[in-house]
Amino acid sequence: MPRLDQATTPSAPALQPRAKPERWRDLGQSYGALAGCILLFLFNCLFTPHFLTLETLGINLQQMATTAIVATGMTLVIGTGGIDLSVGSVMAIAGALGPIIFLHMDNQLLGNTLAILLPILAACVCGAFNGWLITRFDIQPIIATLILFIAGRGIAQVMTNGMNQEFVNPGFEWLGKGKLLGLPFQAYVMIVIVMFFMLVVRHTTFGRYILATGGNASAARLAGIPVARTKLATYIIAGLLAGLAGLIVVALNGQSNPSQVGLNYELNAIAAVAVGGTPLIGGQAKIVGTFIGALIIQLIYTALVGNNVSADIAQVINAALILAAVYLQRQRKA
């Protein structure tokens, strides 16, 4: 029998250095989007003609703003563990309703005001419909939002009789064409929205509710968190932001084409969210990351168009980005 003075206590296992591949994966998750954004920026500086001109900057901000606005709402929805495939169709509905209102009113100021407020309200109703299906009937988000994805664009086409609505309305068009200090007005709208919801997610009770709901809805419910109301609110916000983006697109183009407004925006928004580092299974909502993701998508588009490559390839690249982002997220989880 060993003597007590000879007994030894087991020592704690020595900390093993993390394997290099695992460290590289973590770095890729944390800074990969930012590094990719910088590389794309440098590529455009070197190879894309006129990239550094003020005019090109303005065009990029105009095109990026709507993607970032829609993707911000998508980030909140994905943060709760959901997804919204209807954002493009909601953009089409709002974009169709706006011109219908001001084209049938004599008072231009009142017409423009209602042409902004009522379409956004209609978009909120669309978001509430999605949230209601999900929370009331426990329908999977991808199925619930697929309903408006299919029907929403049809509704927009019925509203316009399937025709383009062309207009000349400087007051309304300023929403898409106006400039402040040389930069597009919608760029300021984008920055305000991104900053606001970044603060909401990081510093408010509602933001904590979103992350808790996406992390574990059952545990959140047991903790007293209003899971259903939280999900409903995120879908309403996603609808609101999609409606605003739809109005901006229509104002920028000076026409409303219900078959084109918002087309493929759901894919662009999901790509921006995934590339920005938000897991598609929920529990996190990286608003700034989504902004960087939207910037990456725009830089890819600029590189393609500026170098005489078909812009249609951008959708293939966006799909590949989603696949790569999901793969990296699964690797990190493993």
Cβ contact 119:59 at 8 Å? no
What percent of the chain is predicted at pLDDT more than 90?
A: 78
Distance CA 66, CA 186 (A): 8
What percent of the chain is predicted at pLDDT more than 70?
A: 90
Single-letter amino acid code for the residue at 236: I
Distance CA 275, CA 33 (A): 6
Distance CA 115, CA 172 (A): 8
List, for residues 11-69, the tens digit of each pLDDT value. 444 445 554 555 555 555 557 889 989 999 999 999 999 999 999 999 999 999 999 99
List, as one string, the DSSP characters of 255-323.
EE-TTTTTTTHHHHHHHHHHHTT--TTSS---HHHHHHHHHHHHHHHHHHHHTT--TTHHHHHHHHHHH
Q: Which long-range contacts (CB under 8 A, 24 or more apart) does 9-12 make?
A: none
List, as one string, the DSSP characters of 5-40.
GG--PPPPPPPPPPPHHHHHHHHHHHHHHHHHHHHH
Walk me through the domains of the chain, giving residue ranges and CATH numbers. 58-333 (1.10.3470)
Q: Among residues 214, 222, 263, which one has the least CA distance to residue 242?
A: 263
Tokens of 214: 């996406």
Q: What is the largest CA-CA distance in the chain?
A: 103
List, for residues 77-111, the tens digit of each pLDDT value. 999 999 999 999 999 999 999 999 999 999 999 99
Q: What is the mean pLDDT of residues 138-156?
A: 97
Entry pTM: 0.90
Cβ contact 66:129 at 8 Å? no
Cβ neighbours of residue 20 closer than 8 Å, sequence gap 6 or more: none
Round the average pLDDT of the chain to a whole number and report it: 90
Q: Among residues 58, 300, 306, which one has the least CA distance to residue 187?
A: 58
Residue 168 pLDDT > 70: yes
List, for residues 211-264, the tens digit of each pLDDT value. 999 999 999 999 999 999 999 999 999 999 999 999 999 999 999 999 999 999
Tokens of 184: 């597009």
